[in-house]
Amino acid sequence: MKSLIPLSEECSIHRVQESLRQLDENAYTPRVVSIGPIHHGKQQLKAMEDYKLRYLQRFLLRTDVHLEEFIKFIGQNETKVRNCYAENIEFNSDDFEKMILMDAAFIFEVLLRHMEKGEFVYDRLYGNPLKKFDIKDDLYMLENQLPFFILADLFRQANISNNEENLSILNITHSFTKTYWDYLGIEESFDETKYLNVKHLVDFLRISIVPSEPQRRVKPEILTTPSVTKLYQAGVKFKLGSSKNLFDIKFHNGILEIPRITTRSTMEYAVKNILAFEKNQGRIENFLNDYVIFINYLANSPKDAEILVQHGIIHNPIGDSERLSTLFHSLVERATLSPDYFHFSSLVEELNGYCRRPWNKWKATLKQDYFKTPWTTVSVIAASILLVLTLIQTICSILQLK
C-alpha cells in the first residue's frame, strides 16, 4: 500500500482500455515517435531520439533561456506533471525531466516549422511528407501525450517571437491542428477561451470539433434512429449542410441537413483516440461518442452510405460503400449509448415520428415508384385518364340501360 500513488484530479493521460486496444492495436500505438513516458524507450521508436536532440538544439537557438533553466522549471513542476498520468512513472527525476524537455521541444519545433513552411524543406524528417504525416498521427494518440499546461508554460518561458510578435502555444497548435484535421469541421475563427482547460493535444482536437454550447439533452424515448434507406422510403430528403461543424445536424419540413463527412484512414485513428479519451473522462461531454452512434444508425448498410455519398454528404476517397459502412461500424464498437442522456435525442424522436406517419410513406412511394422518371409519370397519368374514361363509359352504359 505504501507504493500506491495518490489519485489526482489532473489525471488525463492513460493507457487505452484493453478491450478497445484488442479491436485495433494500430490505432493507439505510435509508429514513428514516442511522446511522454508510456511508449518511451520502445525499440521501434528509438531512431527518433537523435532527431529529438537535433530539434532541442534548434529550439534552444530560438530563445535566450538556457537549457538548465528549462530543466529547473520542469523539476519545480515534476509532481504536477506526473499527476497527469494514470499510472506510476518509473523514471527517476533526472531522466523524467530530460524526457519531458526533449519531447516538448520536439513538439514545439514541429509546430513552428509548420508555420515557417519552406524554411525547413530540406529537414530529413519534416521535409519528408510521409514521415511528416506519420508524426502528425502520432502526436494525436492518447497514450502519446504531454500535459498541455507544461507545454504552455515552457513555451511562454521561451518567449519566442515571429516578426516581433510573440507567438502563443494556443495559436500555433490551432494552426497545425486545423491544417491537418480541417475536414473534421474545425472552424476558421479561433476562440482561445474554449481551450482554457485543455488537457493535451487529443483534447485540443476534441475541443476544436465539438459544439461550444451543449444542447439540452433529455432521456430519449426511442434509442434507435431509422437508417437512411428507411428515412428515404418515408419521404425524407437529404441535404448537404452549410455548417462545417459535424454536430450541426438539422431536420425541418422533411429535410435532413447533415454537414459534410470526409472519410480518411487518419480520421479513423483520430476519432478512435478521442473516443478512448471521452470514455475515461467522466467530467466531459461525450459528444463524439453520441455522434458516432447517430451516424452509424443512419449509415447502417452500404446502400445507406451510398445514398449519403450521392447527396454529397459523405466525401468518400475510400471509394467503396461497403468499406465505408464497415468504417462506421468499427467506430461504434468504441461508443456507448447512454439510455439517460443522448446529444441527438430530440432529433431521433423527430425522425422516428416522421417515419410513423402513413401519409409521408404513401407520398414517398408515389414519387419514388410511380413518378421516378418522365416516362413513368406519363404512363401513370395516361393510365389514370384511361381509368377515368372507362369509369365514365361504364356509368353512361348503365344509365342507357335504364
pLDDT of 332 reads 87
Instruction: State pTM to two decimals.
Output: 0.86
Query: Which residue type sits at 118?
Result: G
Could you tell me the three cell numbers for 236?
A: 425524407
What's the rounded Cα separation, in Å, for the pair 61 and 54? 11
pLDDT at 381: 61
pLDDT score for 164: 67
CA distances to 232, 336, 364, 373 from 368, in Å? 9, 36, 6, 9
Closest CA to 210 of 228, 225, 229, 191: 191
The pLDDT of residue 60 is: 96
Q: Which residues contact 315 (CB under 8 A, 6 or more apart)?
A: 183, 260, 261, 262, 263
Q: Dump the DSSP string for 27-72.
A: GGS-SS---SSSSTT-GGGTTHHHHHHHHHHHHHHH-SS-HHHHHH
The amino acid sitting at 351 is L
CA-closest candidate to residue 126, choices 108, 147, 148, 104: 108
Return the H-helix or E-strand segment holding 203.
Answer: helix 201-209
- Give the pLDDT of residue 35: 97
Q: What is the pLDDT, as a whole number, of residue 190?
A: 86
Please report how many Cα atoms fall inside a 13 Å half-sphere around the Cα of residue 195, on the Cβ side.
Answer: 23
Q: Which of 215, 333, 210 is nearest to 268 (CA)?
A: 333
What tens-digit pLDDT sequence spans the chain (402 residues)? Answer: 666 666 677 789 999 988 888 889 999 999 999 999 999 999 999 999 999 999 999 999 999 999 999 999 999 999 999 999 998 888 999 999 999 999 999 999 999 988 887 665 567 776 677 788 899 999 999 999 999 999 999 999 999 887 767 789 999 999 999 999 998 988 777 889 999 999 999 999 999 998 876 665 666 677 788 999 999 988 899 999 988 899 999 999 999 999 999 887 788 899 999 999 988 876 667 889 999 999 999 998 999 999 999 999 998 776 677 778 888 888 888 888 877 778 888 899 899 988 887 645 545 454 554 445 565 555 556 656 666 667 776 777 776 665
Give the number of C-alpha atoms closer than 13 A to the C-alpha of residue 349, restricted to the C-beta side: 9
